[in-house]
Structure formats: C-alpha cells, structure tokens
Amino acid sequence: MRDVAAEAGVNHALIHYYFGSKDQLVIAVLDAANRRLIERQTQMYETPGGFAEKWAQARAFYEEDLASGFVRVQMELWAASLSNEALREHFVPRMMEWRRVIEQAVRDALRLEPGAAS
C-alpha cells in the first residue's frame, strides 16, 4: 500500500483510512474496471446483430483484457480468494456478474437463432 500511496502522491495512512486493507483497495480498483468492462460487454450483446459477430467481438474484448492485465488480476484474485474467505465474499459476486452477462447473451442467441429450440 505504501507503493500505491507513493505513486498517487498521498500518505499511505490516507489509503488505509479509506480502504482499510490491501484486499479492499484491490477490490475497489477491480470494481471500477469491472463495471466499465461489464457495461461494454452488455452494450455489445444488446446491439442488433448476429451472435457469431458478437462472439467475435467478445473474443476481441478478451484479447484486450488479457493485454491490459485485467484477466491476470482476476485470476490472481480468484486464486487468493480460495484461501481467503473475506476476499472471496467480495470477489465471487463480481465474477458471477460476468457469468450472468454471458448466460443472458447465450439465452438471447438461442431465442433468436433460426431453428433454435424454445
């Protein structure tokens, strides 16, 4: 947290005051990125067009997220949450939001595709 404080140009006690712990700071940063990326994904799936094109765009988004380090942070938090219950309580709902977005996109695609089972 001292490194983050130094980078931000603030006293490390200020970061501790607002976030309480390194885990809470990481979750706050994840939340900001997660909200933006889930909104991006949701908007893309809600636009008119075929599922194949949307899936191709989703794969391109994933490549961007890999390159940015976002996916790595998610996976590291997932691994850390396996042994840290407090972190897991905060992290798992955020990961489940991704699952909800994908499940809804698949449901919509199945409903709209010609010949899809109802």
H or E element in which residue 47 lies = none
Average pLDDT of the chain, as a whole number: 88
pTM of the model: 0.74
* 51-68 pLDDT tens trace: 889 989 999 999 999 999
pLDDT band at 114 (very low <50, low <70, confident <90, very high): low
CA–CA gap between residue 61 and residue 59 (Å, rounded): 5
Distances from the Cα of 117 to the Cαs of 15, 40, 105, in angstroms? 53, 28, 15
